C-alpha cells in the first residue's frame, strides 16, 4: 500500500498522490504476519521454495512452483496466499484477489490473508478508479484487525484507508484516529509513525509530524522501516540534515541493506553532491534488487537517475531514464513532468 512502497500510495480516489520523487517504503508490505505451516512435507518444501523465489523477485517461477504444490494438495490455503502475493507484485490485482479469496475460503482465520486481500482490493480500486472495489478493501482490513488485534500492519492499512478514502466509501477521520491510538498502545514507535501520517494527511501539520518522526527515531528502533519512513518525510519537507541523520543512523546497523544506498543516493541528488557515487548506487540498486511493492520501486530509481543526469546537463540520458520510469509506472508524475520539460526544451 504505501508503503510503498511503500509504503507506496494507493488511494488515488482519496487524495492527490505524493509525487514519486520520494517513495516511502511500502507499507505496504512493511511487516509480514506469520503464516501457519501445513502438514504435507513435500508440499511444505515446494511452498518454502516458492517463498525463496518470491523473495528474489522471481514471481513467475514462484507461481510455477506453487502450481506444482497445488497439484499435489489443492486444499492448503498458504499456496493460494503466496500465489496472490506473487500476482500482486506483478500488478495483476484482479487475479491476486481471486487467490487471496481462495486462501480465505480454506482458512478464514488468518489475519494476514484478509489484510492482503484488502490491499489487493485497494490497488485494483486505485488502478480502475472504482469506488465499488475500494469499499471492499475497508471490510477486509477490519476483518484482519478483528481476527488479530495485535496485527499492526493491518491496523496501519485500516488507518491509512480511513484517513485517505472519501467518506462515500468509508473514509472516516475519527476511525483513523482510533487506529492511531490503538497502534500507539501496541507499539509506540509504530504509533509515532502512523501519528505522523495522521498529522500530515488529516491535520495538515507537518511540524507536528516532524516531532513524531523525531520521537520514533529517538527510540532507536531495530527495524529499517522507521528510519526509511522518516528519511522520506524529511526529504519531502526539504529537511535535508534530518534526512541525512536518519540515513546515517540506519547505516550504522544495516549498512548492507540496499535501501540504505538508495536513500543515500536520493539525498546526494537532492543536495547535488557526490553525484558519481549516487549514480553508482542507483544503478547497483536496479541491478541487484527485485522490483517489489514494499521497497522503493525501480521506477523511482529510474526517476532519480534521470534527475541526476539533468543536474549534470545530460539531457539525452535524463530523458532515457524518465521514459524508462514511465514504462515501469505510467503514474509517475515527477518523471512525466520532467520528461515533458526536456522535450519542450528540445523543441
Domains of the chain in start order, with CATH, are 255-347 (1.25.40.10)
Q: How confident is the model at residue 345 (pLDDT cuts 50, 70, 90)?
A: confident
Per-residue pLDDT at 346: 64
Find residue 165's DSSP bridge partners: none
Calpha distance 10→5 (Å, rounded): 9
Q: State how far Cα 37 lies from the chain centre.
A: 26
Read off the pLDDT of residues 275-311 as tens digits, 9 standing for 90 and up.
Answer: 999 999 999 999 999 999 999 999 999 999 999 999 9
Read off the pLDDT of residues 79-93 as tens digits, 9 standing for 90 and up.
Answer: 999 999 999 999 999
The model carries a pTM of 0.86
- For cell 522471481, name the residue: 58
Comparing C-alpha atoms, which of 208, 201, 266, 318 is closest to residue 25? Answer: 266
Per-residue pLDDT at 324: 98
Read off the pLDDT of residues 10-56 as tens digits, 9 standing for 90 and up.
Answer: 443 333 322 333 333 333 333 333 344 444 458 999 999 999 999 99
Amino acid at each position: 500500500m504505501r508503503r510503498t512502497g511503500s509504503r507506496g500510495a494507493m488511494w488515488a480516489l482519496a487524495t492527490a498522490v505524493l509525487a514519486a520523487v520520494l517513495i516511502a517504503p511500502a507499507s505496504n508490505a512493511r511487516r509480514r504476519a506469520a503464516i501457519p505451516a501445513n502438514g504435507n512435507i513435500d508440499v511444505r518444501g515446494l511452498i518454502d521454495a516458492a517463498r525463496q523465489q518470491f523473495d528474489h523477485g522471481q514471481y513467475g517461477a514462484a507461481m510455477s512452483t506453487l502450481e506444482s504444490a497445488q497439484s499435489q494438495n489443492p486444499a492448503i490455503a498458504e499456496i493460494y496466499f503466496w500465489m496472490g502475493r506473487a500476482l500482486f507484485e506483478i500488478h495483476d490485482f484482479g487475479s491476486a484477489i481471486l487467490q487471496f479469496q481462495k486462501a480465505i475460503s480454506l482458512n478464514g482465520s488468518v489475519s494476514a490473508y484478509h489484510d492482503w486481500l484488502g490491499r489487493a482490493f485497494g490497488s485494483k480500486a486505485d488502478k480502475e478508479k472504482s469506488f465499488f472495489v475500494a469499499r471492499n478493501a475497508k471490510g477486509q482490513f477490519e476483518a484482519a484487525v478483528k481476527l488479530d488485534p495485535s496485527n499492526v500492519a493491518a491496523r496501519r492499512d485500516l488507518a491509512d484507508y480511513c484517513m485517505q478514502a472519501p467518506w462515500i466509501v468509508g473514509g472516516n477521520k475519527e476511525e483513523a484516529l482510533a487506529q492511531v491510538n490503538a497502534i500507539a498502545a501496541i507499539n509506540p514507535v509504530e504509533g509515532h509513525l502512523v501519528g505522523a501520517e495522521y498529522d500530515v494527511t488529516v491535520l495538515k501539520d507537518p511540524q507536528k509530524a516532524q516531532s513524531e518522526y523525531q520521537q520514533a527515531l529517538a527510540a532507536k528502533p531495530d527495524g529499517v522501516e522507521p528510519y526509511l519512513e522518516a528519511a522520506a518525510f524529511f526529504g519531502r519537507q526539504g529537511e535535508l540534515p534530518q534526512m541525512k541523520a536518519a540515513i546515517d543512523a540506519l547505516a550504522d546497523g544495516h549498512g548492507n541493506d540496499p535501501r540504505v544506498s538508495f536513500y543515500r543516493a536520493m539525498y546526494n541528488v537532492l543536495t547535488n553532491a557526490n553525484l558519481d557515487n549516487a549514480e553508482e548506487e542507483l544503478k547497483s540498486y536496479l541491478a541487484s534488487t527485485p522490483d517489489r511493492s514494499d521497497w522503493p520501486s525501480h521506477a523511482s530509481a529510474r526517476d532519480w537517475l534521470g534527475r541526476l543526469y539533468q543536474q549534470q546537463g545530460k539531457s539525452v540520458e535524463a530523458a532515457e531514464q524518465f521514459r524508462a520510469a514511465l514504462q515501469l509506472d505510467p503514474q509517475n508524475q515527477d518523471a512525466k513532468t520532467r520528461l515533458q520539460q526536456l522535450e519542450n526544451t528540445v523543441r
